[in-house]
């Protein structure tokens, strides 16, 4: 009789472990909202916005219904619309380019850097040239802080200043990360983030926020998220949306924010261990000097067509992996007609073929991580 049992499957992100740690604090926070019944823009929303602003040093935080809405609201508040070009990377989640199209503008794709996977500032001028040649007015750039790592904000800002572009940072995956000692949320003209449950700071549903130091922009955002309201919601001064963060989600996020610094440290410990144990055998992520990551993903590169075999080998051992992103945006049906910057997007294409993300969360214990590392090493030697 074969008594060998398979080891238990490993979760890719263990939301339940965090839920156990937070325990009754979240239950009590939700119960408070259930008793005061101010479900839309209740007191917890304002309190959370204040705490989040203090956490990252931004002057204003305007929460909303999702990270996608945060980007849309910011583009609308920045006055981006038809005839405008919005530069963004092709190697990102679709929402980054989707929002440009949603406000009637045209996304123009820029390639990313081979090591950081973030927008390559050297490609911006070529994208501007293509946009102008297509009769568009280059107005904005959306750098993305992919997988939790800040983009090169100084380099992006320098080109944006020269070219007169507004900068909207897409920090959906990287809230909490730092660049030159400052947390994201304070770079560019505005920053958008997401509280989708799988994000480093996630809620128990959809949620997002725009962060900015600009008073006028913050006023416009607060108006836009409530149907473009003026003095009140029956005074409509602009075309807006219904996009608020639910009070219950704000209450949950306040509890999560308390443990967030600790979780960021735990994620960094997990990432360090992966890199120490795998760096000799595969291309592991590199964090540039002056940056910290919050490790939304821990993503290695496996070339020569060996990636899918590795994923299959790990799956057979109960270890999940994910591929972000198998098809870059410039190849997606919905986006392939949009312009690509002069330099092309070869790196994006290459990354799409080679990246693979390993389980990553703040509650990944050493024994489980050892199991993943051993399986990856075995899988790569096959």
Contact residues for ligand PLP, defined by CB under 6 A: 66-68, 92-93, 95-96, 144, 170, 172-173, 194, 196, 206, 208
Residue among 191 and 194 whose Cβ is closer to ligand PLP: 194
Distance CA 281, CA 61 (A): 43
| Contact of 56 with 200, CB cutoff 8 Å | no
What is the token pair recorded at 33? 């909202």
Residue among 293 and 369 whose Cβ is closer to ligand PLP: 293
Distance CA 154, CA 172 (A): 19
CA pseudo-torsion sign 93, 172, 146, 108: positive
The CB-of-241 to ligand PLP minimum distance in angstroms stands at 13
Residue among 95 and 166 whose Cβ is closer to ligand PLP: 95
Alpha-carbon Rg for the chain, nearest whole angstrom, is 21
C-alpha 163: how far from its chain's center? 25
The CB-of-1 to ligand PLP minimum distance in angstroms stands at 47
Report the DSSP beta bridge partners of residue 109: 88, 340
Residue among 144 and 373 whose Cβ is closer to ligand PLP: 144
Residue among 49 and 278 whose Cβ is closer to ligand PLP: 49
Query: For residues 310, 316, 317 and 323, what is the CA-based torsion angle, rounded to 10 degrees?
Result: 40
The CB-of-346 to ligand PLP minimum distance in angstroms stands at 21
Distance CA 252, CA 29 (A): 7
Distance CA 350, CA 238 (A): 43
The CB-of-5 to ligand PLP minimum distance in angstroms stands at 36
Residue among 14 and 170 whose Cβ is closer to ligand PLP: 170
- Provide the angle, in degrees to the nearest 10, between the axes of the packed helices 124-133 and 153-163: 30
Burial of 144 (0-12, 13-18, 19+ CB in 10 A): buried
What is the token pair recorded at 1? 């009789």
Closest residue to ligand PLP, judged by C-beta, is 67
Residue among 144 and 319 whose Cβ is closer to ligand PLP: 144
CA pseudo-torsion sign 13, 15, 21, 26: positive
């Amino acid at each position: 009789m074969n008594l060998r049992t398979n080891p238990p499957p490993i979760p890719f992100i263990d939301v339940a472990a965090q839920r156990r740690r937070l325990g009754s604090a979240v239950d009590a926070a939700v119960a408070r909202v259930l008793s005061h019944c101010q479900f839309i823009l209740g007191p917890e929303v304002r309190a959370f916005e204040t705490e989040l602003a203090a956490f990252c040093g931004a002057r204003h935080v305007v929460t909303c219904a999702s990270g996608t809405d945060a980007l849309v609201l910011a583009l609308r508040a920045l006055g981006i619309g038809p005839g405008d070009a919005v530069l963004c990377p092709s190697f990102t989640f679709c929402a980054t380019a989707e929002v440009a199209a949603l406000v009637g503008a045209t996304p123009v794709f820029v390639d990313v850097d081979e090591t950081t996977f973030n927008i390559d500032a050297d490609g911006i001028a070529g994208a501007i040239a293509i946009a102008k040649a297509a009769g568009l007015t280059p107005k904005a750039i959306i750098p993305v802080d992919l997988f939790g790592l800040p983009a090169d904000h100084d380099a992006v800002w320098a080109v944006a200043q020269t070219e007169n572009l507004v900068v909207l940072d897409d920090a959906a995956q990287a809230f909490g990360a730092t660049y030159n000692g400052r947390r994201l949320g304070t770079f560019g003209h505005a920053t958008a983030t997401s509280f989708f449950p799988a994000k480093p700071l996630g809620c128990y549903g959809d949620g997002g926020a725009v962060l900015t130091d600009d008073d006028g922009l913050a006023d416009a955002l607060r108006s836009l998220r409530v149907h473009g309201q003026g003095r009140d919601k029956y005074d409509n001064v602009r075309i807006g949306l219904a996009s608020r963060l639910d009070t219950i989600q704000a209450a949950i996020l306040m509890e999560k924010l308390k443990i967030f610094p600790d979780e960021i440290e735990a994620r960094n410990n997990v990432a360090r261990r992966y890199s120490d144990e795998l760096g000799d055998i595969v291309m592991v992520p590199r964090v540039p000097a002056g940056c910290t990551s919050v490790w939304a993903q821990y993503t290695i590169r496996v070339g020569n067509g060996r990636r899918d075999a590795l994923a299959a080998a790990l799956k057979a051992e109960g270890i999940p992996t994910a591929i972000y992103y198998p098809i870059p945006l410039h190849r997606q049906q919905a986006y392939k007609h949009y312009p690509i910057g002069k330099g092309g997007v070869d790196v994006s294409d290459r990354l799409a073929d080679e990246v693979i993300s390993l389980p990553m969360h703040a509650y990944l214990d050493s024994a489980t991580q050892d199991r993943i590392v051993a399986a990856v090493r075995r899988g790569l030697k096959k």
